[in-house]
Amino acid sequence: MATTKLIICLCLLFTVNMFAQEKNPSSLLGKNLIINGGAESGEAAWRGEGFESARYGSFGDEWDVGVAGAPNGGDSYFRLTVREGKESAIAKHIIDLSRLAEFIDKNPLEITLSGYIGGSPTQEEKFAVTSLIINFLDADKKTLGSSSIEVKETELPKAEIGASSMVLRTKTEKLPKGTQIIEIALKVKNACSNCTSIGYADNISLVFKQVK
């Protein structure tokens, strides 16, 4: 427990200091701005009820030991459980861009959100939906825009091993002027009111690109 708390604290400190120590904001272009997007540091930098990091193979009905749900998926992935009686569950990751505000306002930028997301493949009439949502907020936390990528369980390929699978989803958007906070949300919509659904994610990334 103490080790887990230390990892979380270090990741949160890195999230704050990553921009505070950056003298040349343009050097962040092309880099993944999401901390722990691959779930290798537990739940660090993410918060949400029913959210956890799991090692591949630790839940035998999902993936086998040594079999990752995403290419170069490492040892771990994210699980987000929607309990029976709940419509959905959400886990969030916050990126503070306030120190880059001037750079963002003066330079047209594009952001690319990508990640492997999924669940349990099915052709049933009732199915869960896993999505990654991005919200752009100003200094007063007013929403300037939002976008999302998603996958329905009916769209997932049948798993070769285990009962779960993920697919790559990617979307590119213009970064709104005035953005100082980015909120990334992993969301799972339950298949039905008396169901328990689980969504999965790995290799989540958010990359900036300057538009000429």
Buried b / exposed e along 118-149 (16+ C-beta atoms within 10 A): bbbbbeeeebbbbbbbbbbbbeeeeeeeeeeb
Q: In 3D, which of 128, 148, 119, 127 has the Cα closest to residue 206?
A: 148
The confidence score (pLDDT) of residue 203 equals 97
| pLDDT cut 70: percent of the chain above it | 89
Mean per-residue pLDDT over the chain, rounded: 88
The confidence score (pLDDT) of residue 20 equals 47
The confidence score (pLDDT) of residue 5 equals 44
Q: Is the pLDDT of residue 21 over 80?
A: no
Between 5-9, 22-26, 105-109, 145-149, the lowest mean confidence (pLDDT) is in 5-9
Q: Is the pLDDT of residue 178 over 80?
A: yes
CA angle 105/107/108 to nearest 5° reads 100
Q: Name residue 118's beta-bridge partners.
A: 166, 200
The confidence score (pLDDT) of residue 25 equals 72
Q: Is the pLDDT of residue 2 over 60?
A: no
Element (H, E) at 166: strand 165-174
The confidence score (pLDDT) of residue 23 equals 59
* pLDDT tens digits along 26-66: 777 889 999 999 999 999 999 999 999 999 999 988 998 88
Q: Is the pLDDT of residue 14 over 50?
A: no
The confidence score (pLDDT) of residue 43 equals 93
Residue pair 181/141 in contact (Cβ under 8 Å)? The answer is yes
Mean pLDDT of all residues in 113-138? 96
Which class does domain 2-210 fall in? mainly beta
Other CB atoms closer than 10 Å to residue 165's CB: what's the count?
23
* Distance, CA of 48 to CA of 201 (rounded, Å): 14
- Please give the full DSSP string across 134-145, using - where no structure is assigned: EEEE-TT--EEE
Residue pair 147/169 in contact (Cβ under 8 Å)? The answer is no
* pLDDT tens digits along 155-174: 999 887 788 999 999 999 99
Mean pLDDT of all residues in 110-133? 95
Buried b / exposed e along 6-26 (16+ C-beta atoms within 10 A): ebbeebeeebeebbeeeeebe
